[in-house]
Structure 1
Amino acid sequence: MPRRENRSRRRGPLRTARPRLLVVIGSLRTEQDYLIGLRDSAGTRAVDIQLVRKAKSPTAVVAYAANFVARAPDDFDEVWCVYDVDEFEVEPASREAARHRFQLAVSDPCFELWLLLHHEDCAAFLNGYREVERRLRKHLPGYDKTRLDFADHADGVGDAIRRAEKLGDSGNPSTDMWRLATRIRTEEEQ
């Protein structure tokens, strides 16, 4: 008589731990609202994200992230610093982030460029936040920096990623938000 396999001894598939990301944001609220919406849009929590707002200069954002991680060095798999160029000198922050092996999501001139890319191509120089906001309001007349509704942008995430990647890594306009968005979406789709 052939031997029957004992199914109770078989192991089920092993579940891998969710990647843990610390995202330190150098703004008041807009980026946080967007990232929460992006994370929650797929209805899964395949990636753990701890969001911390630190409305300061890019250098202060990176320093804050370094201090945060120093208190709990094993709590995160990746650290991301999200900030705008605006009127800041960002090179010192970029060097410090590289030293700590932090990822950056820098927008030049501002985060609203990333939002604009959800709705249209934009490759010409932008003269600061006001110009980006004016163009964004053509698509979202009620846009309010203090109350971002992710649903206004959800359908355009793929387009924004493609458009931002095409812009390149630096200069006005550019945004590295596509890298963070891709990281979050890739984990959600697995």
Structure 2
Amino acid sequence: MARRENTPRRRRTPSRTSASRVLAVCCGQTERAYLDGLKRLSKPVTLRSVVKVGSPAQLVRHAVKLREKDRDGFDEYWCVVDVDDFDIDEAVAVAVATGISLAVSNPCFEVWLILHFADCTAGIASPMAAAEKLRRHLPRYSKGVLDFALFAERVDKAVARAKALGPGNPSSDMWRLVEVVRKH
């Protein structure tokens, strides 16, 4: 039997960083279903989504209240909002003043979903028009019901397309939240 050298063993320092915890307040079930699917793709991140119906500014204020009551220690607080017919400037001002991050889609979240399938550069008149445009790629699309598996392999393309858009109609900042969730 061979004898082992008496060399000291060094413990390895852990190479994993602790998982981030992100809370996202969103305005509807479609957004929540997307975020729930995204968190399954991004294992080390804890992503919790909360639905709050209201204006973008109301969602930001709700996120602030959740942060004040937070005992779980979320690292980041986000609001996923649509422009629709809202004055987004108020939400932006409240978010900046309170340190809440925004993922704004103009005119609506469906723009982000469309970007998974195609470029979207022409203005979109309404959320209904955006849903119709999305149905060209997903004929069975229905607001509030979302199968994330249809989007999972296309997230990188959506991020690239959204980054190329810039502000205005159409646009979506969802890529920023996606990158936060996937960076780990």
Q: Which runs of 5+ in 2 are unaligned?
A: none
What CA distance in whole angstroms lies between the structure 2 residues aligned with 1:73 and 1:97? 21
Q: What SS class does the counterpart of residue 76 from structure 1 fall into? A: coil
Query: Structure 1 residue runs of 4+, over 6 Å off?
Result: none
Specify which of 107, 110, 116 is matched with residue 109 of structure 1: 107
Equivalent residue, structure 2, for 1:4: 6
What CA distance in whole angstroms lies between the structure 2 residues aligned with 1:175 and 1:145? 18
After TM superposition, give the deviation of residue 5 of structure 1 in Å.
2.3
Equivalent residue, structure 2, for 1:35: 35
What CA distance in whole angstroms lies between the structure 1 residues aligned with 2:78 and 2:56? 12
Equivalent residue, structure 1, for 2:180: 183
* 1:138-189 deviations in Å (ceiling 9; x for gaps): 1111011121000111121111100000001x211110001111221222xx
**1:43-62 superposed matches below 5 A:** 45-62=43-60
What CA distance in whole angstroms lies between the structure 2 residues aligned with 1:171 and 1:20? 30
TM-score, with structure 1 as normaliser: 0.89
Code of the residue aligned with 1:134 in structure 2: it is E
Specify which of 79, 86, 89 is matched with residue 87 of structure 2: 89
After TM superposition, give the deviation of residue 63 of structure 1 in Å.
0.5
Q: Which runs of 5+ in 1 are unaligned?
A: none
Residue-pair matches, total: 181
After TM superposition, give the deviation of residue 4 of structure 1 in Å.
3.0
What CA distance in whole angstroms lies between the structure 2 residues aligned with 1:118 and 1:11? 41
Specify which of 120, 133, 151 is matched with residue 118 of structure 2: 120
- Identity in percent: 44
Equivalent residue, structure 1, for 2:158: 160
Equivalent residue, structure 2, for 1:23: 24
* 1:94-139 deviations in Å (ceiling 9; x for gaps): 1110111111100000000000000110111100111111111111
Code of the residue aligned with 1:184 in structure 2: it is V
After TM superposition, give the deviation of residue 6 of structure 1 in Å.
2.4
After TM superposition, give the deviation of residue 26 of structure 1 in Å.
1.8
* 1:61-102 deviations in Å (ceiling 9; x for gaps): 000001111112771111111110001111011111011111
TM-score, with structure 2 as normaliser: 0.92
